[in-house]
Chain A
Amino acid sequence: MPIGRMLARRLVLVVPLLFVILLGTFMLVRLSGQDPVGLLAGPTATAAEIELVRASLALDQPIWVQFGVYLGKVVQGDLGASWLSNRPVLAEILDRAPATLELMLWGVFIGAGIGIPVGLRAAFRPDRSFDQFSRFFSLLGFSVPTYWLGLIMLFVFFYLLEWAPPGMGRISLFLEPPPRVTGSYLIDGLIAADWELAASAASQLILPVICVAIIAAAPIIKQTRAIALEVLASDYIRYARAQGLPKREIRAMALRNSATPIVTFIGTEITGLVGTTSLIEYVFAWGGLGQYGLSAIIAGDFAAVQGYVLMLALFSVLVFLIVDIYVTLTEPRAA
């Protein structure tokens, strides 16, 4: 299938998908039983004042009318305003998204950089000591609670060893954020040639990125190993051996044939890692999107929660789109 047609088909599918996601989050948030009105009106509000607040938020309307109004605004790019901060949700999200992306992409990048070679080596020499070790590590990564890992990292590397800075945001408290280009403090600091700032951003990144990388690497090791083992047991690898192809070429063939499923898996993993990253963000006071979403859920900030979920959905759609483009380009059977 040509890339163009694949993209067109995908875009057509995205519209109903987003509608269902909007409807689902809208209803779930309202069925959650939280009533933000009391919170907003304050503890001293009279019954009349509460009703006034309720009407100003259109919460006295039937739920379908509310959804219709909301949908109409979303289509125009207005995600509403946060009831807590009174700022537009979209602006708040865009402010915070780079922090989360920076943390998550570094984490996945390093997690994949460790996980893929480890998984491949384990598959090429199954049941040897390296394989046993990798399986142990993978199991450990699966079973360690995310927040606990973050706390222990801080305890050991900040408190005990004093190697790392405290987990309080993305740069040292004494520094100003760099002028925004990409949103990543590390990259923007480098662009602005502010070495002190870039170094601070890098040192703040290390611990949370290691946490995300460990959590990300565990399933990547397991999946890479399983995928490579399956490829190695395939008819075409067995036949390549029977043809007396050199070991190097057989390995290269196995790698090429493992690449597509591994990339697909990492794509699905990235979308799932958003949840993991939220907890890491909380522990390290990262100020990213995950932290924003969690606070919004706890506070019953409807517009913020809906905007957050919508962003996650769009992000997943984007990741899967990139994976699909990669598969279409590399896989002759997909054409």
Chain B
Amino acid sequence: MTLLRVEDLHTHFIARNLDNEIQVAKALNGVSFSLDAGRILGLVGETGAGKSLTATSIMGLLRPPARIMGGRALFQGQDLLAMPDDDLNALRGRDIALVVQSPKSSLDPLSRIGDQLIRIRRAHRGGSVAEARDKAIAMLGSLGIPDPARRMRAWPHELSGGMAQRVLIALALMNEPQLLIADEPTTGLDVTVQAQILDLLRDLVRRTGIGAMIITHDLGVVAHYCDEMAVMYAGAIVESGPVRQVFRRPTHPYTVNLIGATPERLRLGATRTVGGPPPNLRALPPGCPYQDRCPQAGADCTTIPPDVALGEGHVARCHRVAA
């Protein structure tokens, strides 16, 4: 069952520069993907590719100067982008939950974590404080936090990074969401804690059958924890498909280079080939956005490349790919 279908999403940053000229940075240029319930989608790409922006656009959390210029984001059949603000706000935190990086600074410093858990539950589901408290204690316990009843009284500044991330996940899960978006959930945590958090997320999806989207620039995370992956470049998805297919047969030159640039591959003797500066979103070339850095670029790359289906849901957007 398709939980989330994003179609041709365009988001631009529109601002005036010092000379008072209007400048448009085309940050998202036709992002399309879909996510089924019970599956984990990994969104990868370099910094500035538009991974987080995709999530904030879908959730209606953009602030000026960012603006959605077109597209649809269908969540259980409803277009999130066309929804009134209040309806979307009611949906956020209830049906769609977000886990962000920097968990310690994302918790309200003046509320005990128990109060924050109770607050989010009651804001969306109502009910008594006692009910919400029981639910919160059970949730902290199920996320592997020892002595959850006592932890409820902790202040955010007393938590370690890994503990804070678990609390954030608990906040996200308090209202049994259908879709969980985790934006670099393990950045800044040490490796063992990273693995624990990601194991937790994967078990959760397996157990409850919700859909999850993990935003990361770590291909290792994608390979280990995700079912599907989508590679973003310059605000567009250049290759997507089941994780196994994409890793076995990376097809878009950018994906090939990205996978070749992981420390593991480099150690195996691969040559580092992702070169050149990141794309200038204010002046993208016509056609394929990767043409300036692509080792295989040719004259036809100045025209818009096709989405080539490679079977089993594996798609690459490139002129060089023969179907």
Q: Could you say which residues of chain A place their CB within 8 Å of the CB of B97?
A: 243
Q: Could you say which residues of chain B place their CB within 8 Å of the CB of A247?
A: 89
In the complex, which range does the number of interface residues on chain B fall in? 20 to 34
Binds A, one of B70-78, B103-111, B236-244, B256-264: B103-111
Chain A 232-261 interface 0/1 with B at a Cβ cutoff of 8 Å (1 = within): 001110111111111101000100110000
Q: Given the interface contacts A249-B123, A332-B155, A333-B155, does A242 sit within 8 Å of B110 by beta carbon?
A: no
Q: Tell yes or no: B91 within 8 A of A by CB.
A: yes
Roughly how many angstroms separate A253 CA and B116 CA in the complex, as a whole number? 11
Roughly how many angstroms separate A67 CA and B24 CA in the complex, as a whole number? 70
Tell me, rounded to whole Å, the shortest Cβ–Cβ distance linking B172 to chain A.
8
Roughly how many angstroms separate A244 CA and B174 CA in the complex, as a whole number? 13
Select which of B59, B124, B155 is within 8 A of A242 by beta carbon: B59
Query: Do B110 and A244 touch (CB < 8 A)?
Result: no
Roughly how many angstroms separate A310 CA and B125 CA in the complex, as a whole number? 59
Q: Tell yes or no: B43 within 8 A of A by CB.
A: no
Roughly how many angstroms separate A238 CA and B108 CA in the complex, as a whole number? 10
Roughly how many angstroms separate A140 CA and B98 CA in the complex, as a whole number? 44
Closest to A234 in B: B105
Chain B 82-97 interface 0/1 with A at a Cβ cutoff of 8 Å (1 = within): 0000000111111001
Q: Given the interface contacts A249-B123, A332-B155, does A242 sit within 8 Å of B93 by beta carbon?
A: yes
Residue with the highest number of chain A CB atoms closer than 10 Å, among B100, B106, B157, B168: B106
Roughly how many angstroms separate A257 CA and B157 CA in the complex, as a whole number? 14
Q: Tell yes or no: B61 within 8 A of A by CB.
A: yes
Q: Please, how many residues of chain A have a CB less than 8 angstroms from a CB on the other chain?
A: 21
Roughly how many angstroms separate A241 CA and B171 CA in the complex, as a whole number? 13
Query: Do B108 and A257 touch (CB < 8 A)?
Result: yes
Roughly how many angstroms separate A247 CA and B89 CA in the complex, as a whole number? 9
Roughly how many angstroms separate A238 CA and B97 CA in the complex, as a whole number? 13
Q: Tell yes or no: B135 within 8 A of A by CB.
A: no
Q: Tell yes or no: B196 within 8 A of A by CB.
A: no
Q: Given the interface contacts A243-B93, A257-B108, A257-B110, does A333 sit within 8 Å of B157 by beta carbon?
A: yes
Which B residues are closer than 8 A to A by beta carbons?
Answer: 59, 61, 89-94, 97-98, 100, 102, 105-111, 119-120, 123-124, 155, 157, 168, 171-172
Enumerate the 5 nearest inter-chain pairs by beta-carbon distance, A residue then B residue, closest first.
Answer: A244-B92, A244-B93, A243-B93, A239-B106, A235-B105
Give 29 CB contacts A-B under 8 Å: A234-B105, A236-B105, A238-B61, A239-B100, A239-B168, A241-B61, A241-B92, A242-B61, A242-B92, A242-B93, A242-B100, A243-B93, A243-B98, A243-B120, A243-B171, A244-B91, A244-B124, A245-B93, A249-B123, A253-B108, A253-B110, A253-B111, A256-B110, A257-B109, A257-B110, A331-B110, A332-B155, A333-B155, A333-B157
Which A residues are closer than 8 A to B by beta carbons?
Answer: 234-236, 238-247, 249, 253, 256-257, 330-333
Contacts A242-B93, A249-B123, A333-B155 known; list 9 others, CB within 8 Å: A241-B92, A243-B92, A244-B123, A244-B124, A245-B120, A245-B123, A257-B108, A257-B109, A257-B110
